[in-house]
Structures are given as structure tokens and as C-alpha cells.
Structure 1
Amino acid sequence: MKLDLKYKNKEHIFDIREKEGVPYLVYPLLEETGIIKHGFSTRMGGVSTENCATMNISTTRGDAPEAVTENRRRIAAAIGVRPEDMTYTHQTHTTKVAVVEEKDRGTRFMETDGMVTNVPDICLVTFYADCVPLFFVDPVHKAIGLTHSGWRGTVGRIGEVTVEKMAENYGTDPKDVIAAIGPSICQDCYEVSEDVICRFRENFPEDCWPDIFYNKEDGKYQLNLWKANEHVLTKAGILKEHIATTNVCTHCNPDILFSHRTAGEKRGNLSAFLALK
């Protein structure tokens, strides 16, 4: 299945994989650690219909339960994990990051936007439709994190919270962490109001502002969540050369990726997957 994605630049950031008709995206930088399985879903390869067509595994979008179950089976088989090992968040734009233990396998963490674990085969799963997926791999202590970062999470530096949680629980040194910023809305497509920008001015140093936003004549602003999260991750101690930043925008690719800015509430969710081998 050929995915005709539109890219913001020509850098080779990720590979497109497919198994049994299910395409997904992977980051070579993460794969090179040799300790994880991971992926990011597209709209393709599932059985859902109408607004959720076709690959939606979220139970919050009004999708048919039997379709969600089949989609979970398909994407799990493609990535090489088991549906019963998938452990989920119910995201509410918090900066709460859960520590996932063996007893949590297959459960859902409510009002939680990030997870960390060092338990093999537990597959962390988070959901998206323009917000930013953040992947974290510590190849030294064999620990991982997966986090959902919308503008509120980015202002709250949830990426840094995730790294701190890994350090606290697993002894992670940020300099060892390999990270990826996943497909999400780009600056060209992400117009916000001044009240949002005020929050960024309060929480990011002034020398970062030109990277993160610019204002327009109508009083609106264009916000760069990719660059903002890069600043968060480097401030957390992750080396710049250890960060792979997406060059694919969800809003620019509405036929391939779900986008809230494109479809509003009438849509499915994309999903990020990360598991230790």
C-alpha cells in the first residue's frame, strides 16, 4: 500500500512499513536502539467505517466496538505486539505521567497523558489527531516513555516531566535517551489566539520565541509545536542529535492521517505504540 504523504522537508525521518495490508510509520533512530518495537498508525488498513474509516482503535470516537477490536488485532500483528498487552491513556491535556507496572498490563490510565515502563512486552498506546506524540527510549537502563503533548502539555513541559519520571524510577540519564517527535500539526497549519501565546511567553525563554511562534496582522499567531517540544526535550537534557523530529503534518495529510483541525469531532484517532522487547 503506497502512502502518498506530503512532507515539510526531504529529510529521511521515518520509514513506512506494511504488514498484511496495515501500513504504519517507524523511526529508524528509535529502531537502532535494538530494544523496542514501535509504530504510528495511519487511517489505512482497518475495518472501521464512516468518520472513523478505517484504522481507529480508540473507544472514545463512537466507533463500533467490534471494529475497534479487529483494528487492534490488525495493528498489533503488524507491529509485533499482542492486543492484550496494550496499555492505554485516557488523555485530558494534563501533565500527568503514569508509571506502568506488570499489574497494569492491558489497563487504561484515566486523566493521564503519558506513561513510562521498564516491563518487557507491555505496549504503551496513546492517541492523536493533531497533538504531538513523544517517544522516549533509554537503551542503557532499558526503559521507555510515550507521551501526548498538545499545546497545554507542551506549555506544561510534559516531555520534561516524562524524562524526570524515567530518571526517578529507572535511573535514566537524559543524555542516553533517544527521542522522537511524531506526526502532528505543523506551524503553517496551526493558528492560535493571543491567550495561548501568552502562556508560551510565560513558560519559554524569550530567545526561544522566534522558533516557536510568529504573529500575523489579524492578531492571530502561528504556533510551532515541533520546535517547542524540541526546546522542552533539550532543556530536559536530551542531546539534540538524539531527537528525530517529524516532517509530516496531520492537517496537511487528511486522507492518510486523522486531523481534528480538518474534521473536528467527526473522526477517529491515530495511535502511537511503544514496547520493550
Structure 2
Amino acid sequence: MKFNSKTMTIHNADSVPYLTYNSLSEISFINHAFSTKLGGVSTGEFTSMNFAFNRGDNPDHVTENYKRFCKSAGFDYNTLTASAQDHNTFVRAVTTENVGTGIYKPRDIASVDALITNQKGVTLVTYYADCTPLFFVDTNKKAIGLAHAGWRGTVGRIGEKVVQKMTELYGTNPSDLKCAIGPAISVCCYEVDKPCADHFLALENVNPSDFVHPKKNGKYMVDLLETNRQILVAAGVKPENITISDVCTNCNSDLLWSHRATKGHRGTMCAFMCLK
């Protein structure tokens, strides 16, 4: 398996692979990982590491996938706590009382695309297949967050809302945050029409010409990762504390799930993060 990245490292490539950020791996009090499409037990279009219960996969296979991944990447299955994503911008603070939701307990939340916590014994879990993962670590207050930023969540400034919620609940100073963005579909592969591009062009306190690039065919190439980076900087995160993944999901569809590459016939990946 070829994996070329300056920002991320692949682990257990021959069994149950997972990716980590080099920058976040330097933080001693967290564990984090991003899954691949490999190393699971799902079959058919979900072959083989699929974490979605809602796409028609055998739920026993999905559960086994979670257990295998946790063993490989060093997470406690019993602490997993999942989002309930619908491309919105709601942020939910979770505690040990919420563990298991969306994994081995019924979801007790709806319309939540970002999770934050400052408690040990809680592993945040969010879902992707081209959309942009956002990782947040408050290196001072020892709080963490994960967000799912599709194009709607991105233009809705979900990254900024996570920063605001962590500041409100945990006393986070944005300058103490270390963040990572991706893996997601990159600007090389993310073509959109004008109505979608117009949402990005209308964003304030950022520079849309950096992330919206018109084409001769009337379409636009949009850089979701750079958009989210600028939104985080506008929210007070230091530019030097933000890492952007150089791994495109569409370009690496042999390793990662990509909605565009599979035309929707796919499984789902997850970002995981917990406090040690």
C-alpha cells in the first residue's frame, strides 16, 4: 500500500490501518485516529471497514468493525460516543453519561455535527466520506472537540462555533488550541456549481479568492480545507497551530471512503479522539 503524506502517519497498515496527525501525536494527553476503508469485516459495497449503521450494512459487522478498530488504535469501545450528523452546525458537549450513544445505545441526540468534552472516559466519534473532519485540542484546559464540516457546515462556520462553545463551557483561549483539518476531498477534486460557490464567496472575515477558483465551464473548484483554516484563524486560532492534511479522500479512494469516487456506493469512516 502506497501512502505518501507529510502531515499524517499510517499505522498497522497490514491489519487494521488507521491514520494519525504528526502534530497531534505530540500532545501527550490525547489519543486520536482517523479510519480507512480497510481492515473490517463488512462485505459488498461496504468492504470492509464501515462504521455507519444507517446505510444498509449488517449491524453485527459494523459493531465488529468498531471493536477491531478500537483494539488496533488503542481506544476503549465502551467509551465511544457518536454524533448525529445532518450537515448542521450544532455543537454538543458530552460527558461519561453519554457514552455508547449511537454505537451500542440508541442515539439520545439529533442534528449534532460536532462534539466536545473535557472529561476522560469519553471517546468522541464523528463520520466522514469526503466531508472535512476538524480536530480541536485545548492544550491548556485539556479539552477536545471533533466536527464534521461538509460544505454546508463549512459555510455555516461550524469550526468557529466549536471554538465559541469550548470557550463558553471550558474557558478555552483560542490561542491555546491546536487544530487539524482533514482528510477530506481536496481542491483538486471538489468541483461545485455556482449556487454552492456563491455561499463560499459570501463568507466574511476570510479571503474567498484563496479557496474559490472559477473554471471555464462555469463551475468552481472549492478548497474546503483552506476555507475551514481561514474560519479557524478568524475565530482566534493561531495559524501555526493548524495542520491541514495533504491526503485527498477522492485521490486515495483505494484507502479511504469517498462519496464522489464511489458515486455514493460506500461505507463511512470516522474520526476518534479522547483524553487519556
Partner of 2:94: 100
Q: 1:5 aligns with which of 3, 6, 18?
A: 3
1:203 aligned counterpart, secondary structure? coil
- Counterpart contact for 1:176–1:238, Cα < 8 Å: yes
| TM-score normalised by length of structure 2 | 0.94
Q: CA deviation at 1:121?
A: 2.4
Deviation at 1:6, TM superposition (A): 5.6
Alignment of 1:6-155 (within 5 A): 12-18=6-12, 21-108=15-102, 109-155=109-155
Q: CA deviation at 1:125?
A: 0.4
1:163-212 Cα offsets, whole Å, 9 max, x none, are: 1111111100010001000210011100001111111122235x612211
Structure 1 stretches of at least 4 aligned residues deviating more than 6 Å after TM superposition: none
Q: Which stretches in structure 1 are left out of the alignment for 5+ residues?
A: none
Q: TM-score, normalising length from structure 1? A: 0.94
| Other structure's SS at 2:146 match | strand
Number of matched pairs? 270
**Cα distance in 2 between the residues matched to 1:195 and 1:66:** 41
8 A Cα contact 1:6 1:252, kept in partner: no
Structural RMSD (CA)? 1.4
- 1:162-177 matched pairs, under 5 angstroms: 162-177=162-177
**Distance in 2 between residues matched to 1:164 and 1:110, nearest whole Å:** 20
Q: CA deviation at 1:78?
A: 1.4
- Tell me the percent identity: 44
Which AA in structure 2 matches 1:265? Answer: G
Q: CA deviation at 1:19?
A: 7.7
Counterpart of 1:188 in structure 2 is: 188
Q: Describe the superposition over 1:4-56 as per-residue Cα deviations: whole angstroms up to 9, x where unpaired.
A: 1365xxxx211111188111000121121211011000011111111111111
Which residue is 1:242 aligned to?
241
